[in-house]
Amino acid sequence: MSTAAGEAARRRTFAVISHPDAGKSTLTEALALHAHVIGRAGAVHGKAGRGATVSDWMDMEKARGISITSAALQFAYRDAVVNLLDTPGHADFSEDTYRVLTAVDAAVMLVDAAKGLETQTMKLFAVCKHRGIPIITVINKWDRPGNEALALMDEIAERTGLQPTPLTWPVGIAGDFRGVLDRRDGSYRHFTRTAGGATIAPEEVMDADAALAQEGDAWTTALEESELLEASGAEHDQELFLAGATTPVLFASAVSNFGVAALLDTLVDLAPPPADRPDADGKPRALDDPFSAFVFKVQAGMDTGHRDRLAYIRICTGVFERGMVVTNASNGRPFATKYAQQVFGRDRETIETAYPGDVVGLVNASALGVGDTLYVDAPVTYPPITTFAPEHFAVARAADTSKYKQFRKGMDTLAGEGVVQVLVSERRGDGAPVLAVVGPMQFEVATHRMEHEFGSRISIEMLPYSVARITDAESAPEIAKARGAEIMTRPDGEVLAVFTDKWALRALEQNKPHLTLTPLVAAQLA
C-alpha cells in the first residue's frame, strides 16, 4: 500500500451537524478533551469561570454562545488521525455548513433529547443523504428532562428513513443519566460527574450482575428496552451503515462529558476513511495519485496580528508537502504553499506533510477561492461548490469617510470569502456596495467584523429585494427600467438582476420572455 493510501486509512474526517443550541461546539470540545489535546473544557458559554469553546474563536461567537463560522480541529486518537469540522447550526449560516459537508467522509448528527429532530437538523440531514455521507446519531443532553428513548428512535426512523441501531442505551430516564448499557458486550458503563463538566468524567465498567445490584429497576428497564430493539432488528450492520440505510446511535451529555469516549471509539471503528474521490467528470481519482485538493472555505481575520487570509483545503489524493508549488485548475496559475498550517480552532502550527482526508490551512491565500482545485503533475478539476442564492440585501456605507481605505479592504475581504456576496450597483456607486446574504444575521457578522477587524464602522440600509437572477449585458438595461428591479454586478463580472419579490420577477418574465433571467445555482436544503 502506498504512503498516501496507508495514511488515508488512518484518517477519520467528519462534521458535527445539528439545529442551533443542540450542543455542537460543546461536543466538539468534549471530543478534544477526551483525546487529551486540551486539559479542560470551556464548554458552557456564559458560565462564570468558563471560557468559550476552542472551536468558537470569533468575538461574536463567544458573546452569543453560537457558532458563526465552521472550525477545523485535528488531533490524534488511538492509531487514527481525526479531522473534526465543527459547523454553524443557525440557518443563516447554511452556506458555510454546506461547504464543510463537501469536505467530510462522515457526519455526527446531534439531537437534543428534549426537542428531537428539529428543522435545521433535517435540512442538513438531507444534504448528507444527497451526498451519500454516513451518519452517526448522538442523542445529547440526556442529563436533562426529555423524550423517552424509544420514542426518539421511532422519530428518527419515521422522519429520516434511516433505521436507528443503538450501540449504547441509557440507564435512567432523561434527566436521570446514570450511565449506558453497551449493547455490543452487555456491560454497564457508569458515569461520575466532575465539577462543571470541565474534565473527563470517570467511567466504571460493570458486568450485568453488578449493574443490577447498583441500579435496580433502571438497569432492568434498559435491558428490556434493548431486547425490544433486538427483536425489531435494530442491530448494527456496517455495510448498511455505509450504504446510508442505518444510523448507529449513542446517548451522551456533552456538557458533562458523558458518553463522549464511546463516540470517539465509534468514529475510529466505524466511520469510513477517505476513499477515491470522483472528479468533475465523475472519474474516481485514486488516493495514491499525485497530490490534489480543493478549497472548501476561505476565512480572514483568524490572526489578529496579521490581516491574513486562510484557505482551507481538503486533500483528496497524494501527499502534501509544505513548500510544494501546486497549480490552480481554475486559472492554470502556480501557487506556492510555503505557509501551510494545521488548524486547531484559532491556534495554528506549521505542518510539513499531510495526507488524503486531512484539512490544511494555506496562509496568504488571496489568489485562491472557494471551489478551486489544486494539483501537482496530473491535472484534475473537482466538482464546483454550490453558491446559495441570496435572499437578503443591504447597502453598506463607511460611517467615517476618512476610513475609506479600511472600508474598501474589508469589503474586498468579505467578497473573497464568498459567504457574503458584495455587489456593485450603478444606481449607488462603488462607495455604497450592496451586501447579499442567505440569512440576515450575516449582516450583523459583517458589521462586527468591519469594525473590529478592519477598523471601519459601517451603516447598513436594508433593501426590499428578496429574489436574484443571473442576466447579461444585453438584457440589463431593459430589466433596470422594470418596476421592483435593479441591476448589480459581482466582483467576478457576473451580472445579477434583483427583484422585490417573485411576483415582480414573474411579471417581467411573462411580459418580456426574451430577457435572460437564469436562476442562481442553489443547494436545496429541504
Q: CA–CA separation, 84 vs 502, rounded Å?
A: 40
**Residue 61, φ and ψ in degrees, nearest 5:** -65, -40
Q: What is the pLDDT of residue 196?
A: 65
**Residue 332, φ and ψ in degrees, nearest 5:** 75, 10
pLDDT band at 350 (very low <50, low <70, confident <90, very high): confident
Q: What is the pLDDT of residue 169?
A: 98
Q: What is the pLDDT of residue 52?
A: 46
pLDDT band at 92 (very low <50, low <70, confident <90, very high): low
Which string of b and e fits 205-229 if b means at least 16 CB within 10 Å? ebeeeebbebbeebbebbbebbeeb
pLDDT band at 26 (very low <50, low <70, confident <90, very high): confident
Q: Which of the pair, 166 or 199, is modelled with greater confidence?
A: 166
DSSP structure string for 178-230: -EEEETTT--EEEE---GGG-SPPPEEEE-HHHHHHHHTHHHHHHHHHHHHHH
Q: What is the pLDDT of residue 332?
A: 95
Q: What's the whole-number mean pLDDT along residues 500-507?
A: 94
Provide the residue ranges of all domains of the chain, joining segments of one domain with +.
3-275, 278-375, 392-519
Residue 525: is its pLDDT beyond 90?
A: no
Q: CA–CA separation, 369 vs 308, rounded Å?
A: 14
Binding residues for GTP: 86-90
Q: Which residue has the cell 480572514?
A: 300
Average pLDDT, the chain: 86
Residues with Cβ within 8 Å of residue 501, at least 6 apart in sequence = 466, 467, 484
CB 128 within 8 A of CB 121: no
Whole-model pTM? Answer: 0.79
* Number of neighbours of residue 314 by Cβ within 10 angstroms: 26
Residues with Cβ within 8 Å of residue 248, at least 6 apart in sequence = 136, 137, 165, 166, 167, 236, 241, 266, 270
Decide: residue 17, CB within 10 A, 0-12 exposed, 13-18 middle, 19+ buried: buried
SS3 86: strand
Residue 262: is its pLDDT beyond 60?
A: yes
Residue 295: is its pLDDT beyond 60?
A: yes
Which range, of 63-67, 445-449, 460-464, averages the lowest pLDDT? 63-67
As a CATH number, domain 3-275 is 3.40.50.300
CB 230 within 8 A of CB 120: no
Q: Which of the pair, 355 or 36, is modelled with greater confidence?
A: 355
Q: CA–CA separation, 180 vs 166, rounded Å?
A: 11
pLDDT band at 308 (very low <50, low <70, confident <90, very high): low
Residues with Cβ within 8 Å of residue 55, at least 6 apart in sequence = 25, 28, 29, 67, 71, 73, 86, 345
Question: Residue 519 half-sphere exposure, CB side, CA atoms within 13 Å?
Answer: 8
CB 387 within 8 A of CB 38: no
Strands 284-285 vs 333-336: parallel, antiparallel or unpaired: unpaired
What percent of the chain shows pLDDT beyond 70?
86
SS3 53: coil
392-519 CATH, one of 3.30.420.40, 1.10.3720.10, 3.60.20.10, 3.30.70.3280: 3.30.70.3280
pLDDT band at 45 (very low <50, low <70, confident <90, very high): very low
CB 60 within 8 A of CB 173: no
| Biggest CA-to-CA distance, the chain | 81
**pLDDT one-digit tens code per residue, 109-163:** 999 999 999 887 888 888 889 889 999 999 999 999 999 999 999 999 999 999 9
Q: What is the pLDDT of residue 346?
A: 54
Helical axes 260-270 vs 24-34, angle rounded to 10°: 80
Q: What is the pLDDT of residue 66?
A: 39
Q: What is the pLDDT of residue 69?
A: 42
First to last CA, the chain: 41
As a CATH number, domain 278-375 is 2.40.30.10
Q: What is the pLDDT of residue 347?
A: 62
Decide: residue 402, CB within 10 A, 0-12 exposed, 13-18 middle, 19+ buried: exposed
Residue 62: is its pLDDT beyond 50?
A: no
* Residue type for position 324: M
Joined together, the cell numbers standing for residue 13 give 474526517
**pLDDT one-digit tens code per residue, 14-25:** 998 888 888 887
Q: CA–CA separation, 43 vs 144, rounded Å?
A: 16
Binding residues: 86-90
Q: What's the whole-number mean pLDDT along residues 61-79?
A: 61
pLDDT band at 61 (very low <50, low <70, confident <90, very high): very low
Residue 502: is its pLDDT beyond 50?
A: yes
Q: What is the pLDDT of residue 249?
A: 98
**pLDDT one-digit tens code per residue, 379-424:** 999 998 876 778 899 999 999 989 999 999 888 888 877 778 899 9
**pLDDT one-digit tens code per residue, 278-290:** 999 999 999 999 9
Q: Which residue has the cell 472550525?
A: 71
Which range, of 118-127, 178-187, 271-280, 428-437, averages the lowest pLDDT? 118-127
Q: What's the whole-number mean pLDDT along residues 244-260?
A: 94
